[in-house]
Structure 1
Amino acid sequence: METDFEIIFDKLVYSCIFEKHRGNEEFIPDHFLGFQISGETHAFFDQGSMVVKENTVVFVKKNQLVRTIKYPSKNEKYQFISITLDRETLQQYALENEISADSRFSGSDKLFFKSNDFFSSYFASLIPYADKTKNASQKLADLKIREAIELLLQSSPDFKNILFDFSEPYKIDLEEFMNHNFMFNVSVDAFAKLTGRSLSGFKRDFKKIFHTTPKQWLKEKRLEEAHYLIKHQNKKPSDIYLDLGFENLSHFYYSFKQKFGVTTTEV
């Protein structure tokens, strides 16, 4: 499938589509600040979902698993612009301004709000780069990232404890996390990072808990969920295979028959 987004400069991403589009699962390694120019984004994650409507600013914390569906409006194409707030830039900003987190942020993982004049003006200033009517130097790109940081801190002091928390993720309950997130089609390395482990530590802990490898467990778990949805909720394979982490329908059919000895229509 042709990509629906374009990297304008190092940390600025512009997404534009004309028809409804189901995005792939994404591991979000860095914080980002985004603005829904037109259309709307439906985002799904392990603890729920949210809808980002037109003229809404969204701040997404780092280390997230997200799946999206992008909807153009009736009269406009889908347009979303985002800027990444990477760790290196945030650390440099914190050093220069003698600022640090003084506690762990305990609020929502996803923060979104109606745009105010400051955010509207900020994102309006980025549109010319997305439209290719202006080119950004590296120095200007760095300034735009810093401007985003300033706006977030101005909007709420609590952002200090999000942006400048450089501690490593806590090691979380692996069994609970995997049972909530098995349907996300991301790498084993991403699962390791999200649970606060090195790749080798993740595989070692996984083996102790599930007595198999991550890849084999993920395949079995997804197929069992598919079997339940098809047999007990009358779901069509074509409607669920992507949501369960399978990349294509033919591979799903093959794996299902291999595991259960019957086709999806024979369940």
Structure 2
Amino acid sequence: MSEKSEIIFDKLVYSCAFEKYRGDEEFIPEHFLGFQLSGETHAFSADGNSIVKENSIVFVRKNQLIRTIKYPSKSGKYQFVSITMDNEILRQYALENKIVLERNHQIKHKLFFEADDFLNAYFLSLSPYINKTKEATPKLANLKIREAIELLLQSNPDLRYILFDFSEPYKIDLEEFMNQNFMFNVSVEAFARLTGRSVSGFKRDFARTFNTTPKRWLKEKRLDEAMYRIKQKREKPADFYLDLGFENLSHFYASFKEKFGFTTSEI
């Protein structure tokens, strides 16, 4: 059985699975707070790998790429609940509470932090909505999101420098970013946003930097990495083709032969 994701109310999503499940490549456009009810989530990003263990809370900041593998618990069930804090609600909250940030304040954000009694109780309070014993009105849903913001700030006041940073992503080094994130199978639009560019600006800067198109460069880069993994690390294509952004194994084999002129078994 594949994963089941259900939107309980506008910003609350409940995910459930009964077998190991590999999630899609995800572009995270908004901050979210998540709670691992059961099982584990193994998350992969350009910053490294992380494991979200059962009964742990995770705060994921916006504008990043993440790939996940979801493992059920010993009881056979994977459950994860997340609540999104979008720009509109955060802007309203900042205005109402007269929050002004110091300029150039840097904060090192850890993906995980120790949950206190208040945050644990908060996620328990969402159970009636997940179990469908209670329906959330738009007003109540808004209050639950604001409560999450309050509890996050209570847990770590410095998170305000992340939550209430409404500046547009600045234009970052394209070559460095693409070499760190080429394995993510996401749209050109996502890559453009993450590098602080419009789609047309991204394509223009990409051609200037790499002297080719994004699609062609990504394919070549992934195949070169595949060759390295097969030849130097002795890995099998079936074990890594998804990690390199290929959608299926037959597409990988055809692309590999087209580029190198021989099959992987002939190496």
1:185–1:245 contact (8 Å) kept in structure 2? yes
SS in structure 2 of the partner of residue 175 of structure 1 = helix
Amino acid at match of 1:7: I
Amino acid at match of 2:225: E
2:189–2:199 contact (8 Å) kept in structure 1? yes
Alignment RMSD: 1.4
Q: Name the counterpart of 2:19.
A: 19
Amino acid at match of 2:244: L
Q: Name the counterpart of 2:229.
A: 229
Q: Name the counterpart of 1:51.
A: 51
Q: Name the counterpart of 1:116.
A: 116
SS in structure 2 of the partner of residue 256 of structure 1 = helix
What's the offset of the Cα at 1:104? Answer: 4.7
2:2–2:18 contact (8 Å) kept in structure 1? no
Structure 1 Cα separation of the partners of residues 134 and 110 of structure 2: 31
Amino acid at match of 1:214: P
1:11–1:83 contact (8 Å) kept in structure 2? yes
Q: Name the counterpart of 1:173.
A: 173
Q: Deviations over 1:189-246 (max 9, x none)?
A: 1011111111111111100010000011001100111111112211111111100001
Stretch deviating more after TM superposition (101-110 or 65-74) = 101-110
Counting aligned pairs with the same residue, the percent is 71
What's the offset of the Cα at 1:50? Answer: 1.0
2:33–2:60 contact (8 Å) kept in structure 1? yes
What's the offset of the Cα at 1:171? Answer: 1.0
Amino acid at match of 1:175: E
Q: Deviations over 1:117-157 (max 9, x none)?
A: 10011001112211222111111111110000110111121
Q: Deviations over 1:32-66 (max 9, x none)?
A: 00111111111111121111111111100000111
Q: Name the counterpart of 2:31.
A: 31
2:3–2:21 contact (8 Å) kept in structure 1? no
Q: Name the counterpart of 2:40.
A: 40
Q: Which runs of 5+ in 1 are unaligned?
A: none
SS in structure 2 of the partner of residue 153 of structure 1 = helix
Q: Which runs of 5+ in 2 are unaligned?
A: none
Against the structure 1 CA distance between its residues 195 and 158, is the aligned structure 2 distance closer, same or farther, given a 3 Å change threshold?
same
Structure 2 Cα separation of the partners of residues 193 and 136 of structure 1: 33
